[in-house]
Structure 1
């Protein structure tokens, strides 16, 4: 009986000693899981905002290029209209999925440069929906 009481006392002391470690471990695990969830939600929100800006700018370039191409139908094709077709081609090739292999800023800069070149050839102002670059 003394062995059982001594064993019970030893287990009780062990559980008291280990209580702080268990509480710390549980707290860390719960905090880590909560942080992961909040980080995922925050990342989604920020990504969505940047995606909307990106989509708006790309849509603007596509709309402007199509308008110039359609308005010049029947007339002889100028270098500016050909440059607008190049803008459309770049937009068609623009990646729809961003991976680590894709530099979105570089691709956007190609589209912006082609659009500015087309506007220059058409002798119009290169109006843009945004004047800043994307930053992640």
Structure 2
């Protein structure tokens, strides 16, 4: 008789263990799908913003190369530093990538160079710029 009660008492633990394992496996699949979607959404925005900053800096550097008197040496140095920061952003997500901090730094430098050039940075930014 005790054997029947022991089996009934252990039944709850067995179901709990099986449910945990099944839930964990299902969660891995759902988490992978959600992570991919989130990565694609965020990656698209980051790539779009980096592309904007890269193109903006390249155009100003081309203009400065074509007409050396167009921008001061100080502005040219800041543009070159901004270009260097953009080039250092990794194109893959790995340890130490820290995209948020890198992009904030690039945004701040962009705003500073824009002010030095007498340009309204807010008017230059794409309307869908992410806030990092």
Structures share fold, TM-score greater than 0.5: yes
- For the Cα contact (< 8 Å) 2:45–2:130, is it kept in 1? no
**Inter-partner Cα distance in structure 1 for 2:104 and 2:9:** 61
**Inter-partner Cα distance in structure 2 for 1:52 and 1:98:** 13
Alignment of 1:69-84 (within 5 A): 69-76=61-68, 78-79=71-72, 80-84=75-79
Q: Deviations over 1:32-54 (max 9, x none)?
A: 11012111211121122111111
Residue of structure 1 in register with 2:125 after alignment: 128
1:47 correspondence with 2:42: no
- For the Cα contact (< 8 Å) 2:82–2:106, is it kept in 1? yes
**Inter-partner Cα distance in structure 2 for 1:24 and 1:107:** 45
Q: Deviations over 1:80-119 (max 9, x none)?
A: 3442222211111123344443432221121112211221
Structure of higher CA gyration radius: 1
Aligned length: 125
**Inter-partner Cα distance in structure 1 for 2:66 and 2:24:** 64
TM-score by length of 1: 0.74
